[in-house]
């Protein structure tokens, strides 16, 4: 079944082919891809020169913002979840089905694009503290958007619970043959499976057959870190020679879970309302509960690095200034953690991380804050010391 699923994702590709290319388009020889789905995957692995020079290691970043459907690694996940649901008959294009999802944005955008491309509707529930450009984009893509107040996961009004409920209501409705499908990225194993099938094999191939010493990534659902770690450590046998490091923003409970085995989340325990999902301005990573996707890779994570919002802002600015890379907040967190990891490793080590999405998705919050901090002020002398970024 797993080989079959491999062939379903991104068209026919044998396990032997995977090393060379995880994404086999219809007419690769001519460079033609089949629809928007064909623009997903095979993203470049960028050597970040400034961070490599500053650390004495090679810092490599997988440019996931170049995925061509929704501009994030969630394209891979959304496509795999949809294809699995189609295989199982849970989604059928001719029936007028709707995909429901609870998301902080990226997965919703990928699902909304792919829904349009494959004949479905999309209904997205998201917390109302996420950057407005994400919900605007969803509207333009024709999705129904419900922005809901931030609530604990125990609350039926939490964006994930609401999406599940909406899918149920749709399917139960007697006056329509169409179905509601709850994609459920947090608990759906098709999420980390997408990274086992594509992101992991691509990183393996792009590093000349697994020549990397560390993989650093944040976790929102945990799908990326679990899928890549499982592929590299288990399927490719890199095991303990590869250090897998969680990059965790301030306010998230995962850092303590990885480091000390307990989740520090007093507000969650009390079940009280918090102002934000996680007390950070970083979007997409950091969480205060253990999801099935995170659990799938938890035993393979060797360490965690906590990153403050200020460090993330300084890193984002550094990447524009030195490398011309304009990234979002989770990418900046990943790069801070990659640098912290590299500084603890022997010189010359190779550290791979992820650039999740573009800064353009974060203009109204993260980048506005960076400007307000005065980091973009031309009259201020730019600090060229990476340790200023690390604080």
Does position 60 interact with ligand PMP (CB under 6 A)? The reply is no
When the beta carbons of 97 and 357 are compared against ligand PMP, the nearer one is: 357
Q: Is 197 a catalytic residue?
A: no
Closest listed residue to residue 145, CA positions, set 162, 155, 156: 162
Residue list 307-336, contact with ligand PMP (CB under 6 A): 328, 330
- Which of 62, 74, 230, 365 is the catalytic position? 74
Work out how close the CB of 353 gets to ligand PMP at its nearest, in angstroms, rounded to a whole number. 11
Q: Which of 284, 286, 297, 359 binds ligand PMP (CB under 6 A)?
A: 284
Work out how close the CB of 107 gets to ligand PMP at its nearest, in angstroms, rounded to a whole number. 6
| Contact assessment for residue 362 and residue 283, using Cβ atoms and an 8 Å cutoff | yes
| Contact assessment for residue 150 and residue 125, using Cβ atoms and an 8 Å cutoff | no
Work out how close the CB of 221 gets to ligand PMP at its nearest, in angstroms, rounded to a whole number. 3
Residue 248: CA count within 13 A, CB half-sphere: 28
Residue list 147-186, contact with ligand PMP (CB under 6 A): none
Does position 80 interact with ligand PMP (CB under 6 A)? The reply is no
Please identify, among the stretches 99-107, 202-210, 230-238, 242-250, the one whose residues bind ligand PMP according to the rule CB under 6 A.
Answer: 99-107
Number of residues that bind ligand PMP (CB under 6 A): 18
Does position 219 interact with ligand PMP (CB under 6 A)? The reply is yes
Work out how close the CB of 362 gets to ligand PMP at its nearest, in angstroms, rounded to a whole number. 9
- Stated length of the chain: 391
| Contact assessment for residue 79 and residue 102, using Cβ atoms and an 8 Å cutoff | no
Buried b (16+ CB within 10 A) or exposed e, 192-225: bbbbbbbbbbbbbbbbeebebbbbbbbbbbbbbb
Does position 285 interact with ligand PMP (CB under 6 A)? The reply is yes
| Contact assessment for residue 24 and residue 32, using Cβ atoms and an 8 Å cutoff | no
Does position 220 interact with ligand PMP (CB under 6 A)? The reply is yes
When the beta carbons of 62 and 118 are compared against ligand PMP, the nearer one is: 62
DSSP states along 129-179: TS-HHHHHHHHHTT-EEEEE----TTSTTSHHHHHHHHHHHHHH-TT-S--
Does position 135 interact with ligand PMP (CB under 6 A)? The reply is no
What is the distance between the alpha carbons of residues 284 and 133, in angstroms, rounded to a whole number? 14
Question: Which residues sit at the interface with ligand PMP, rule CB under 6 A?
Answer: 72, 104-106, 218-224, 283-285, 328, 330, 356-357
Catalytic residues: 74
């Amino acid at each position: 079944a797993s080989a079959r699923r491999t062939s379903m994702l991104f068209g026919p590709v044998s396990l032997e082919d995977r090393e060379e290319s995880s994404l086999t388009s219809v007419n690769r020889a001519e460079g033609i891809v089949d629809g928007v789905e064909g623009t997903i995957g095979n993203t470049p692995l960028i050597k970040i020169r400034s961070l490599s020079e500053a650390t004495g290691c090679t810092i490599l970043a997988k440019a996931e913002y170049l995925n061509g459907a929704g501009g994030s690694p969630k394209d891979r996940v959304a496509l795999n979840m949809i294809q699995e649901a189609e295989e199982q008959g849970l989604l059928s294009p001719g029936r007028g089905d709707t995909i429901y999802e609870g998301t902080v944005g990226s997965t919703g955008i990928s699902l909304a694009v792919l829904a349009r491309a494959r004949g479905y509707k999309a209904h997205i529930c998201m917390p109302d503290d996420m950057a407005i450009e994400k919900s605007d984009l969803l509207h333009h893509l024709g999705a129904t958007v419900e922005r809901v107040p931030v609530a604990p996961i125990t609350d039926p009004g939490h964006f994930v619970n609401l999406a599940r409920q909406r899918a149920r209501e749709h399917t139960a409705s007697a006056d329509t043959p169409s179905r509601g499908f709850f994609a459920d990225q947090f608990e759906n194993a098709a999420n980390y499976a997408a990274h086992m099938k594509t992101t992991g094999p691509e990183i393996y191939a792009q590093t000349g057959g697994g020549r990397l010493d560390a993989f650093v990534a944040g976790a929102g659902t945990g799908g990326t870190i679990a899928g890549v770690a499982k592929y590299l450590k288990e399927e490719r046998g890199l095991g303990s020679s590869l250090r897998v490091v969680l990059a965790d923003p301030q306010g998230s409970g995962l850092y303590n879970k990885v480091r000390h085995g307990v989740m520090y989340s007093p507000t969650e325990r009390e079940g009280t309302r918090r102002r934000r999902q996680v007390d950070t301005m970083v979007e997409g990573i950091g969480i205060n509960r253990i999801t099935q996707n995170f659990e799938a890779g938890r035993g393979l994570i060797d360490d965690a690095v906590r990153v403050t919002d200020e460090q993330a802002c300084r890193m984002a600015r550094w990447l524009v200034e030195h490398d011309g890379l304009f990234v979002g907040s989770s990418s900046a967190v990943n790069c801070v953690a990659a640098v912290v990891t590299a500084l603890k490793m022997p010189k010359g080590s190779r550290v791979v991380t992820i650039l999740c999405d573009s800064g353009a998705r974060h203009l109204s919050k993260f980048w506005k804050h960076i400007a307000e901090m005065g980091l973009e002020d031309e009259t201020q002398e730019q600090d060229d010391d990476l340790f200023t970024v690390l604080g």
